[in-house]
Amino acid sequence: MSEIGRRGLLKVIGSVPLAGLVTAAPSAEAVEKAAKAVKAAKGKPFTPGFFTAHEYETVTLLADTIIPRDERSGSASDAGAPEFIDFMMRDPLESPGEVERRQIQMRGGLAWLDHQCADRFGKTFVASTEAERGAVLDDIAWPEKARPEMKVGANFFSSFRDLTASGFWSSRIGIDDLQYQGNTFVAEWKGCPPEQLAKLGLKA
């Protein structure tokens, strides 16, 4: 269980306006710098600079729930998204105030998940079964459909999902998953491929 107690969690959540719980999207420069830092650390044991061991375990599990490994590509953690998220919590390109705000929101959101699971199942998010975690996430996956008492969790999850996606699709695994072919030398440009034109309902 997170060291943030129930009273402390409510104080943290209450100190941040609900709309403010949605973390601003990282800048392109921040994403690039984080991706390079993650790439440089590959092959070495990663030690989080912000998260506690329990928080980082939760972050990794949650990120892999959002983008699991499949037949097409690796998971969010395979791509280094948890490391990316840890970096974003210490982003040197952001103002100290923005970094602190982002840290409070992240730590409060992870504690919220643990408290929800403790209330429902008597254990942390990580210790809960896949079905139990799914039940909690189903309540917060769509902010516009979330019940009033779930709004804080829904806004946190939306923000976390954005960070996970940024980390994944700025990685080599994510770029390969998109089948992105930019910055590739083409000897002769023959226009849009026929299959893509057909998909758009157009003709050559």
* pLDDT band for position 104 (cuts 50, 70, 90): very high
Assigned domain for 1 exists: no
Task: Domain of residue 123: give its range.
Answer: 6-199
CB atoms inside a 10 Å sphere around CB 95: 9
Instruction: Name the average pLDDT for the chain.
Output: 82
Crossing angle of helices 81-88 and 151-169, rounded to 10°: 110
Top-confidence range, 90-99, 109-118, 190-199: 109-118
Count of structural domains within the chain: 1
Question: Is pLDDT of 194 > 50?
Answer: yes
Assigned domain for 107 exists: yes
* pLDDT band for position 195 (cuts 50, 70, 90): confident
Assigned domain for 39 exists: yes
d(CA 141, CA 118): 19
Token pair recorded at residue 74 = 């690796």
Question: Is pLDDT of 12 > 90?
Answer: no
* pLDDT band for position 172 (cuts 50, 70, 90): confident
Assigned domain for 47 exists: yes
Assigned domain for 87 exists: yes
CA distances, 113 to each of 62, 77, 79, 128, 136 (Å): 10, 19, 24, 11, 8
Assigned domain for 154 exists: yes
Please answer whether residues 50 and 163 qualify as being in contact, where contact means their C-beta atoms are separated by less than 8 angstroms: no
pLDDT for res 35: 60
Token pair recorded at residue 69 = 């490994």
d(CA 136, CA 173): 28
d(CA 60, CA 81): 8
Assigned domain for 204 exists: no
Question: Is pLDDT of 115 > 60?
Answer: yes
Q: Could you tell me the sign of the dihedral formed by the alpha carbons of 56, 62, 65, 68, in that order?
A: negative
